[in-house]
Amino acid sequence: MLVNFDKLPENSRIWIYQCNRSFSENELIEIEQKLNEFLTQWAAHGSDLQAGFTIKYKRFIVIGLNQELNGATGCSIDSSVHFIQNLEKTYNVDLMDKMNVSYKQGEFIAYKTLIDFKKMAKAKSISKNTIVFNNLVANKGEFLTHWEVPVSESWHNRFLG
Protein backbone atom coordinates (compact mmCIF):
# COMPACT_ATOMS: atom_id res chain seq x y z
CA MET A 1 0.00 0.00 0.00
CA LEU A 2 1.57 3.23 -1.19
CA VAL A 3 1.60 6.16 1.24
CA ASN A 4 3.25 9.55 1.18
CA PHE A 5 6.81 9.21 2.51
CA ASP A 6 6.23 12.18 4.83
CA LYS A 7 3.34 10.31 6.51
CA LEU A 8 5.47 7.29 7.46
CA PRO A 9 6.37 7.07 11.17
CA GLU A 10 9.95 7.97 12.12
CA ASN A 11 10.74 4.37 13.11
CA SER A 12 9.96 3.17 9.56
CA ARG A 13 12.74 1.10 8.05
CA ILE A 14 14.44 2.68 5.05
CA TRP A 15 16.63 1.62 2.18
CA ILE A 16 18.72 4.21 0.35
CA TYR A 17 19.91 3.60 -3.19
CA GLN A 18 22.43 6.14 -4.40
CA CYS A 19 22.88 6.59 -8.12
CA ASN A 20 26.23 7.08 -9.79
CA ARG A 21 24.78 10.03 -11.73
CA SER A 22 21.84 12.40 -11.60
CA PHE A 23 18.64 11.26 -13.24
CA SER A 24 17.17 13.43 -15.99
CA GLU A 25 13.77 15.05 -15.50
CA ASN A 26 12.17 12.49 -17.85
CA GLU A 27 13.86 9.62 -16.04
CA LEU A 28 12.62 10.94 -12.70
CA ILE A 29 9.04 11.03 -13.96
CA GLU A 30 9.32 7.43 -15.20
CA ILE A 31 11.05 6.22 -12.02
CA GLU A 32 8.43 7.86 -9.79
CA GLN A 33 5.71 6.13 -11.81
CA LYS A 34 7.51 2.77 -11.53
CA LEU A 35 7.98 3.26 -7.76
CA ASN A 36 4.28 4.12 -7.39
CA GLU A 37 3.33 0.93 -9.24
CA PHE A 38 5.79 -1.26 -7.34
CA LEU A 39 4.97 0.02 -3.86
CA THR A 40 1.23 -0.13 -4.53
CA GLN A 41 1.47 -3.91 -5.01
CA TRP A 42 4.43 -4.64 -2.66
CA ALA A 43 3.44 -7.35 -0.18
CA ALA A 44 4.87 -9.77 2.38
CA HIS A 45 3.25 -13.22 2.41
CA GLY A 46 0.11 -11.74 0.87
CA SER A 47 -0.16 -8.86 3.35
CA ASP A 48 0.10 -5.32 2.05
CA LEU A 49 3.17 -3.35 3.08
CA GLN A 50 2.68 0.31 3.94
CA ALA A 51 5.52 1.97 2.08
CA GLY A 52 6.48 5.26 0.51
CA PHE A 53 9.43 6.79 -1.28
CA THR A 54 11.24 10.01 -1.88
CA ILE A 55 13.92 10.91 -4.40
CA LYS A 56 16.54 13.40 -3.21
CA TYR A 57 18.93 15.47 -5.31
CA LYS A 58 17.82 13.61 -8.46
CA ARG A 59 20.03 10.68 -7.43
CA PHE A 60 18.99 9.07 -4.13
CA ILE A 61 15.99 6.74 -4.12
CA VAL A 62 14.76 6.27 -0.55
CA ILE A 63 12.13 3.62 0.18
CA GLY A 64 10.46 3.64 3.58
CA LEU A 65 8.42 0.85 5.16
CA ASN A 66 6.12 1.15 8.17
CA GLN A 67 6.98 -2.08 9.98
CA GLU A 68 4.39 -1.46 12.70
CA LEU A 69 1.74 -2.80 10.31
CA ASN A 70 3.65 -5.51 8.45
CA GLY A 71 7.37 -6.11 8.30
CA ALA A 72 9.40 -6.98 5.26
CA THR A 73 10.18 -10.64 4.69
CA GLY A 74 12.96 -12.27 2.71
CA CYS A 75 10.68 -12.56 -0.33
CA SER A 76 9.48 -8.96 -0.16
CA ILE A 77 13.05 -7.67 0.25
CA ASP A 78 14.10 -9.84 -2.70
CA SER A 79 11.33 -8.32 -4.81
CA SER A 80 12.45 -4.78 -3.92
CA VAL A 81 16.07 -5.64 -4.80
CA HIS A 82 14.89 -7.11 -8.10
CA PHE A 83 12.91 -3.90 -8.75
CA ILE A 84 16.03 -1.77 -8.11
CA GLN A 85 18.14 -4.05 -10.31
CA ASN A 86 15.60 -3.53 -13.12
CA LEU A 87 15.96 0.23 -12.70
CA GLU A 88 19.74 -0.20 -12.99
CA LYS A 89 19.34 -2.06 -16.28
CA THR A 90 16.68 0.25 -17.69
CA TYR A 91 18.61 3.46 -16.99
CA ASN A 92 22.15 2.06 -17.22
CA VAL A 93 23.04 3.23 -13.70
CA ASP A 94 24.55 1.82 -10.53
CA LEU A 95 22.23 1.90 -7.52
CA MET A 96 23.42 -1.07 -5.45
CA ASP A 97 27.15 -0.50 -4.97
CA LYS A 98 27.66 0.46 -1.31
CA MET A 99 31.40 1.01 -1.84
CA ASN A 100 30.89 4.49 -3.26
CA VAL A 101 30.58 7.82 -1.48
CA SER A 102 28.48 10.85 -2.33
CA TYR A 103 29.23 14.24 -0.84
CA LYS A 104 28.46 17.89 -1.43
CA GLN A 105 30.74 20.24 -3.29
CA GLY A 106 28.77 23.45 -2.95
CA GLU A 107 25.45 22.79 -4.68
CA PHE A 108 26.91 19.89 -6.65
CA ILE A 109 26.72 16.26 -5.49
CA ALA A 110 30.01 14.45 -6.12
CA TYR A 111 30.22 10.68 -6.40
CA LYS A 112 33.50 8.82 -5.84
CA THR A 113 34.66 5.31 -5.22
CA LEU A 114 35.58 4.68 -1.60
CA ILE A 115 39.23 4.33 -2.67
CA ASP A 116 39.18 7.75 -4.37
CA PHE A 117 37.39 9.29 -1.39
CA LYS A 118 40.12 7.95 0.93
CA LYS A 119 42.81 9.42 -1.36
CA MET A 120 41.03 12.79 -1.34
CA ALA A 121 40.81 12.71 2.45
CA LYS A 122 44.56 11.99 2.72
CA ALA A 123 45.26 14.83 0.29
CA LYS A 124 43.09 17.11 2.47
CA SER A 125 40.64 17.67 -0.42
CA ILE A 126 37.93 16.55 2.02
CA SER A 127 37.59 18.23 5.40
CA LYS A 128 35.75 17.32 8.59
CA ASN A 129 33.11 19.86 7.52
CA THR A 130 32.48 18.33 4.09
CA ILE A 131 28.84 17.17 3.94
CA VAL A 132 28.52 13.46 3.18
CA PHE A 133 25.50 11.25 2.74
CA ASN A 134 25.38 8.52 5.37
CA ASN A 135 23.41 5.85 3.51
CA LEU A 136 23.76 3.47 6.47
CA VAL A 137 20.96 5.16 8.43
CA ALA A 138 18.35 2.54 9.29
CA ASN A 139 15.07 4.38 9.82
CA LYS A 140 13.23 7.51 8.73
CA GLY A 141 14.09 9.40 11.92
CA GLU A 142 17.82 8.81 11.38
CA PHE A 143 17.38 9.71 7.72
CA LEU A 144 15.86 13.06 8.65
CA THR A 145 18.56 13.92 11.19
CA HIS A 146 21.73 11.99 10.30
CA TRP A 147 21.72 11.38 6.56
CA GLU A 148 23.34 14.64 5.44
CA VAL A 149 26.10 15.24 7.95
CA PRO A 150 29.63 16.62 8.16
CA VAL A 151 32.34 13.98 7.74
CA SER A 152 33.21 14.53 11.42
CA GLU A 153 29.77 13.10 12.40
CA SER A 154 29.79 10.15 10.01
CA TRP A 155 31.53 6.82 9.59
CA HIS A 156 33.50 8.57 6.83
CA ASN A 157 35.48 10.35 9.60
CA ARG A 158 37.87 7.39 9.88
CA PHE A 159 39.46 8.41 6.57
CA LEU A 160 40.56 11.86 7.72
CA GLY A 161 43.41 10.43 9.81
Residue 48's pLDDT band (boundaries 50, 70, 90)?
confident
Does residue 44 register a pLDDT over 80?
no
Q: What share of the chain is helix, strand, coil (3-state, %, to 5)?
A: 40, 25, 35
The neighbouring-strand residues paired with 112 are 101
What distance in Å separates the CA atoms of residue 101 and residue 65, rounded to the nearest whole number? Answer: 24
Mean pLDDT of 91-115: 93
Q: What local confidence, expressed as pLDDT, does residue 16 receive?
A: 97
Mean pLDDT of 106-110: 91
What distance in Å separates the CA atoms of residue 133 and residue 61, rounded to the nearest whole number? Answer: 13
Does residue 89 register a pLDDT over 90?
yes
What is the share, in percent, of the chain residues with pLDDT greater than 70? 100
Selected residue with higher pLDDT from 116 and 76? 116
Q: What local confidence, expressed as pLDDT, does residue 107 receive?
A: 87
Which stretches of the chain are DSSP H helices?
A: 25-41, 74-91, 114-122, 140-146
Mean pLDDT of 95-118: 92
Residue 21's pLDDT band (boundaries 50, 70, 90)?
very high
Domain ranges of the chain: 5-91, 100-159
Phi and psi torsions of 2, nearest 5°: -80, 130
Selected residue with higher pLDDT from 160 and 20? 20
Mean pLDDT of 124-153: 95
Residue 161's pLDDT band (boundaries 50, 70, 90)?
confident
